Amino acid sequence: MIDKINQLKAEVESLTAATHEKAEELRIKYLSKKGEITSLFNAFREVPNDQKRQVGQLLNELKEAATAKINELKESLENSASAGSETDLTRSADPILLGTRHPLSIVKNEIVDIFARIGFTIAEGPEVEDDWHVFGALNFPPEHPARDMQDTFFIEKDPDVLLRTHTSSVQSRVMLNQQPPIRVICPGRVYRNEAISYRAHCFFHQVEGLYIDKNVSFADLKQALLYFAKEMFGEDTKIRLRPSYFPFTEPSAEMDISCNLCHGEGCPFCKYTGWVEILGCGMVDPNVLEACGIDSKVYSGYAFGMGIERITNLKYQVKDLRMFSENDVRFLRQFESAN
Ligand SMILES: [Zn+2]
């Protein structure tokens, strides 16, 4: 009996199993009701009384050893099974590709930031507008060419509902709702009925600014725009103002900055003039102030407007305007570092 126990003990200690089923077979072979170890327990009653204590102890040790060994085999099989499966829980996660900010948004935010530093707050308005806010309030005579079907997308006629052709409509909304001092900047998308080419699109983006208070002069306008040009294009940037005409400002001007590619030397980009045009501006026409319920004898103001595409072009030399709306990620990824 003792020999048999020792033999089984040695056998149990060297057990191996390649699969879970094999391990289960071993459990049945040794530990089930008809298993070899169980049958030794059945034979235990034949053991002489003086040996019962010793044999009983050995039997219990054997049973414990066998149970422990078979459980150990099963556990190690389970662990190796999960390690070999498709899911590797220790692998690092797939990298998530982050998008980039659109170049027009980068430049718009930069423009807004610069003007915010000198006290301008953002004003926004609807893209679908009525004739009064886009033209009427802004001193556009009824026969003005900008009202022509060639330039404006009309949605309804009489009363006219249209897609705004400039964000000046936001300025008229602000003036109609608020008394001076007014110092707002209006970024947004505008629409014009133009043939699409590398230099024109049927929609583009503008930032317009409006400042109305007592004693606002042209010198204030010039200083604000000089500050903007230096912040946007560098400390050594120069500006010049050329007389121009807009219905809503008097006097009006176009502003050029010194070409930031050749620094005034002359190059194909600036058509060898050393200057590039970036915005239009002027003193708000008294007719506009009166139309919007602001006393033009007490208040004066300036306004300016620029195309965000134009500024982005100057900063990043994007040759083709259409690139901005084609959603080509190869183009957009180039602005990753500008974020
Ligand atoms: Zn140049």
Separation CA 181–CA 243 (nearest Å) = 27
Contact indicator for 325, 200 with CB cutoff of 8 Å: no
What is the separation of C-alpha 114 from the centre of its chain, rounded to a whole number of angstroms? 21
Domain endpoint, select from 43, 58, 85 = 85
The length of the chain in residues reads 339
Ligand 1 centroid to residue 276 C-alpha, Å: 8
Residue 83: is its pLDDT beyond 80?
Answer: no
Tens-place pLDDT, residues 109-158 = 999 999 999 999 999 989 999 888 888 888 887 777 767 656 888 888 88
Q: How far is CA 113 from CA 105, 108, 126, 155, 311, in A?
A: 12, 9, 22, 34, 15
The annotated binding site for Mg(2+) is made up of 250
- The arithmetic mean of pLDDT across residues 100-105, rounded, is 90
Domain endpoint, select from 52, 85, 118 = 85
119 exposure class (CB count in 10 Å sphere: 0-12, 13-18, 19+): exposed
Ligand 1 centroid to residue 313 C-alpha, Å: 13
Ligand 1 centroid to residue 254 C-alpha, Å: 18
- The arithmetic mean of pLDDT across residues 167-184, rounded, is 91
Instruction: Determine the structural domain holding residue 52 and report its residue range.
Output: 2-85
Ligand 1 centroid to residue 226 C-alpha, Å: 19
Residue 282: is its pLDDT beyond 90?
Answer: yes
Ligand 1 centroid to residue 240 C-alpha, Å: 15
98 is a domain residue = no
Do 332 and 280 fall within a single domain? yes
What CATH number does the domain containing 291 carry?
A: 3.30.930.10
Q: What global pTM score does this model have?
A: 0.68
Separation CA 164–CA 167 (nearest Å) = 7
Residue 84: is its pLDDT beyond 60?
Answer: no
**Protein residues within 5 Å, CB atom, of ion ligand 1:** 259, 261-262, 267, 269-270
Confidence at residue 85, expressed as pLDDT on a 0 to 100 scale: 61
Mean pLDDT computed over every residue of the chain: 87
Do 52 and 184 fall within a single domain? no
Tens-place pLDDT, residues 218-249 = 999 999 999 999 999 999 999 999 999 988 99
Ligand 1 centroid to residue 150 C-alpha, Å: 33
Domain endpoint, select from 33, 51, 85 = 85
Residue 319: is its pLDDT beyond 90?
Answer: no
Cis peptide bond prior to 243, omega within 30° of 0 = no
Total number of domains in the chain: 2
